[in-house]
């Protein structure tokens, strides 16, 4: 795609535009804490800060706050138009958000490969040590059958994670990393 640098996520702009339609958590979002996997060290500081908020779902719901917290990041998941034969306006959900976030990460890996540096590999420690490189989502909440969902808050939260990837800020972060093991030549 010739003009990929002009897309909103790559330019570091949020979509929809900030203001009345700013990015916000919505009911189809999900998140919380694992009952199976322990919380990794790289999450503990960010999650601890979130849990200090007073307007979280009632503790009477007995949710586990010691397990692995999720999500790590989020991405725009509504108002997508998918063209597969015919345009399908209004597509929403993980099927939109996951490839959007993956595309931004692929562009960051490409940036490193162009500098003969290694690809990023396991991202989570990088995410949690660079929360400011994401567009922080502070409005909205998830939905649950109990009526209370996880609210979006400043910093990491249990509905939008670190927020949505900001290509320009993340590009600065990944360019400042050591080059790694180098890149093997591709022989075709």
Peptide bond into 180 cis (omega under 30): no
Specify the pLDDT at position 73: 95
Q: Which domain holds residue 161?
A: 32-176
Rounded to an integer, what distance in angstroms lies between the CA atom of residue 40 and that of residue 63?
18
- The model's pTM: 0.81
Which H or E element spans position 166? none
pLDDT at 29: 77
Residue 7 CB neighbour total at 10 angstroms: 16
Q: Quick check: is 98 in a domain?
A: yes
Query: Which is nearest to 71 in space by CA: 124, 117, 116, 114?
Result: 124
Binding-site members are 136-137, 155, 157
Residue 146: the pLDDT is: 64
**25 domain residue, yes or no:** no
Write the CATH number for 47. 3.40.50.200
Residues within the annotated binding site for Ca(2+)?
136-137, 155, 157
Digits of tens for pLDDT over the chain (188 positions)? 344 444 444 444 444 554 445 688 877 778 899 999 999 999 999 999 999 998 888 876 778 899 999 999 998 888 777 777 776 667 788 888 899 999 999 999 999 999 999 999 999 999 999 999 999 999 988 876 666 789 999 999 999 999 999 999 999 999 999 998 544 444 44
Number of domains in the chain: 1
The answer to whether residue 11 is domain-embedded is no
Residue 186 forms part of a structural domain: no
In a domain, 133, yes or no: yes
Residue 79 resides in a domain: yes
Report pLDDT for 87.
66
Residue 127 lies in a domain: yes
Q: For 131-158, what is each residue's pLDDT tens digit?
A: 999 999 999 888 766 667 899 999 999 9
Say which residues have a Cβ less than 8 Å from residue 160's Cβ, sequence separation at least 6.
25, 29, 31, 71, 73, 74, 137, 152
Strand ranges, E, within 52-186: 67-70, 80-84, 86-91, 134-135, 164-165
Q: Is residue 49 part of a domain?
A: yes
């Amino acid at each position: 795609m010739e003009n990929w640098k002009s897309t909103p996520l790559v330019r570091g702009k949020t979509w929809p535009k900030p203001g009345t339609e700013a990015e916000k958590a919505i009911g189809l979002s999900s998140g919380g804490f694992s009952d199976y996997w322990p919380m990794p060290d790289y999450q503990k500081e960010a999650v601890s800060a979130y849990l200090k908020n007073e307007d979280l779902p009632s503790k009477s719901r007995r949710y586990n706050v010691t397990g692995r917290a999720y999500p790590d990041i989020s991405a725009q998941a509504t108002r997508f138009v998918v063209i597969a034969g015919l345009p399908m306006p209004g597509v929403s959900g993980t099927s939109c958000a996951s490839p959007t976030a993956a595309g931004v990460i692929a562009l960051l890996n490409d940036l490193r490969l162009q500098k003969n540096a290694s690809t990023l590999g396991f991202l989570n420690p990088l995410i949690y040590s660079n929360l400011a490189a994401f567009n922080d989502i502070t409005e909205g909440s998830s939905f649950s059958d109990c009526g209370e969902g996880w609210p979006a808050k400043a910093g990491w939260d249990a509905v939008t994670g670190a927020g949505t990837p900001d290509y320009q800020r993340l590009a600065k972060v990944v360019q400042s990393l050591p080059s790694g093991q180098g890149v093997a030549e591709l022989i075709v």
